[in-house]
Structure 1
Amino acid sequence: MHEESGPSWGMRGLRKWLRTAPETRDELLRLVQDSRRFLEPDTVAMLEGVLDLPATKVREVMTPRTAMVSLQEDDQLLDILHVLIESAHSRFPVFSSDQPDNVVGILLAKDLLPFLKDQLVRVDIRTLMRQPLFVPESARSDQVLRMLKNTQTHIAIVIDEYGTTSGLVTLEDILEEIVGEIEDEHDNADEEAQFIIPDPEHSAANSWIVQALTPIEHFNNILNADFSDDEVETVGGLLLQEIGLVSDLQGQTVELGKWQFTIMEADARTIHLIRAVHQ
């Protein structure tokens, strides 16, 4: 007796299963989840991701402003070269020098390559910027994906209801909602996003060196703290929220409850390294 192959039986079974057309998104989602016997687990997961996109607001997948690697329109090439190299990003939002809350363009790192041969040449990055794509925080992820595709853009600036920059979202961010985490050679969450070590310059057990991009939740878990992450997500963002806009971040000290934070390394707009001392 001849047995039908598994894939052939599976496709016939799936067609039979789909004869009853779902009437709502939830019914379709349940149908996809019930089809695990016919489809590979990764396929089911991707279908679930696609169906979840309309219910996912872009604010849920964006990189918040406190974690953005950005430039300023009056920056000089020699001053930002280390940012381009260390971040390993290919696209950078450029903020206005007069209105520090507003993004005025997107700079592609590849557009600076012709000028690297002669670093003495003065480069006006305003002449190299691309027009930014703006999307509201409330936009659905599937809508933003369509906009990025239609405009052939890989990055969008997310603005709040007052028109202020609240973050950025990339094509990769949205695709990861469908296919899961996409890691590349520059991803290193353990070393960058969750970097907490005992302070080597202070023998006291209550002093630590903390990467600014460390999530507040991780800081709380490791050091038994209780800082809120309702409004900001990172330790650096927590300090920026407290300090506000200042001209010189490095060396600033912030007292929060029983904790004293000292900014050890920072540039004009971003905190990089922090000393945290429990008093």
Structure 2
Amino acid sequence: MGQVADGVSSANAESSDNAEPGQSSEPASRGLLSRFFGGRSAPDEEERIELPPAPAPVPLGLGNLRRMRVGDVAIPKVEIEAVPVTISRDELVEKFREHGYSRLPVFKETLDTPLGLVHLKDLALEYGFGSGSGRFSLRKLIRPLLYVPPSMPIGVLLQKMQVQRIHMALVIDEYGGVDGLLTLEDLIEQVIGEIEDEHDEADDAYWREEKPGQWIVQARAPVHEFEGEIGMRLADEEAEDEIDSMGGLVFMQLGRVPARGEVVVAENGVEYEVVDADPRRIKRLRVRLPGVAPAE
């Protein structure tokens, strides 16, 4: 113990003796602390920041009916497409045509005062097929919908929909306002996977060109195949080993699932507009190459 103390004392004395005039002598520990808290140990050393891994997708199966809650599946309020009760017939038809839904919520003044839902079939039977000469009234077409809390298991909601024969529900928060929306199809997809009907893109049609330099692309489309189609590289060399699909490419750039309607601009100038998505995955994208003006 004494030898260690003597060694340290003699080293400190020797260090102070060798110090040149005008140069302060500081203990060696000061340099260590400054490296710890202030500077970098080497000027050319690169700092690496590791991002947390992306959350794993929820597996499908009957267990989700008990495990998942309504709040996990519902479409957020900002993405809900709804119509006011005062809407005209032509505007309502255009709304159905624009979004491709068969049901739309109806509200009085704001979405927080919902009245029910309108079904496309009811509109067609009442005012279509040559019988649309009468005065239009949306109120007589309104059907009831369900109001549920976000904590309800989706299996319980599925039973309520089956018993009451109502295929749409609004999620209501603790203050009585609308917090989200989900349909019977959303619930079933948590068990068996995505359901596609005759209006969805065909399985073998990963993309279609809307106009020169602009495509509608399925999120599951392979990145390398679409790169061959447009003759442009979209993923860098590091990302190519980790990304297989176009949806994964956009997710990788943001680090999260984007909302429907969100536009992501890559470093190479390519724009990715999210045409269809839910809170858990991207479904369709609009890809616009640099120099191509957006559609009106």
TM-score bracket for the superposition, by shorter chain length: 0.5 to 0.7
Corresponding residue for residue 154 of structure 2:
141
Paired residues of 1:107 and 1:130 also in contact (CA < 8 A): yes
Query: Which SS does the other structure have where 1:183 is aligned?
Result: coil
Q: CA separation in 2, counterparts of 1:52 and 1:224?
A: 24
Q: CA separation in 2, counterparts of 1:228 and 1:91?
A: 32
**TM-align CA RMSD:** 4.4
- Gapped runs of 5+ residues in structure 2? 1-59, 221-244, 274-284, 292-296
Mapping for residues 10-49 of structure 1, pairs under 5 Å: 49=61
- In the superposition, relative to structure 1, how do residues 188 and 274 fare at CA in structure 2: closer, same or farther (>3 Å)? closer
Matched, 1:121 2:134: yes
| TM-superposition CA deviations, 1:108-151 (whole Å, max 9, x none) | 22222222224443312122211221112221111111211221
Deviation at 1:93, TM superposition (A): 1.0
* Aligned with 1:165 (options 168, 173, 178): 178
Mapping for residues 162-241 of structure 1, pairs under 5 Å: 162-188=175-201, 200=212, 222=249, 226-227=253-254, 229=256, 233-234=259-260, 236=261, 238=262
Corresponding residue for residue 54 of structure 1:
66
- In the superposition, relative to structure 1, how do residues 229 and 198 fare at CA in structure 2: closer, same or farther (>3 Å)? farther
1:172 aligned partner, one-letter code: E
Matched, 1:155 2:181: no
Paired residues of 2:65 and 2:155 also in contact (CA < 8 A): yes
Query: Which SS does the other structure have where 2:188 is aligned?
Result: helix
Q: CA separation in 1, counterparts of 2:122 and 2:200?
A: 23
Q: CA separation in 2, counterparts of 1:65 and 1:196?
A: 30
Deviation at 1:49, TM superposition (A): 2.0
Corresponding residue for residue 80 of structure 1:
92
Matched, 1:111 2:122: yes
- In the superposition, relative to structure 1, how do residues 162 and 210 fare at CA in structure 2: closer, same or farther (>3 Å)? farther
Indicate the structure with greater helix content: 1
| TM-superposition CA deviations, 1:160-200 (whole Å, max 9, x none) | 333332332112221222233322112239899x9897984
1:136 aligned partner, one-letter code: P
Count of matched residue pairs: 198
Q: CA separation in 1, counterparts of 2:102 and 2:143?
A: 13
Paired residues of 1:195 and 1:214 also in contact (CA < 8 A): no
Paired residues of 1:77 and 1:122 also in contact (CA < 8 A): no
- Gapped runs of 5+ residues in structure 1? 1-47, 203-207, 240-254, 264-272
Q: CA separation in 2, counterparts of 1:196 and 1:160?
A: 40
Paired residues of 2:145 and 2:167 also in contact (CA < 8 A): no
Structure showing greater radius of gyration is 2
Paired residues of 2:219 and 2:247 also in contact (CA < 8 A): no
Corresponding residue for residue 83 of structure 2:
71
Query: Which SS does the other structure have where 1:49 is aligned?
Result: coil
- In the superposition, relative to structure 1, how do residues 59 and 210 fare at CA in structure 2: closer, same or farther (>3 Å)? farther
Q: CA separation in 1, counterparts of 2:204 and 2:136?
A: 34
Per the normalisation by structure 1, the TM-score is 0.53
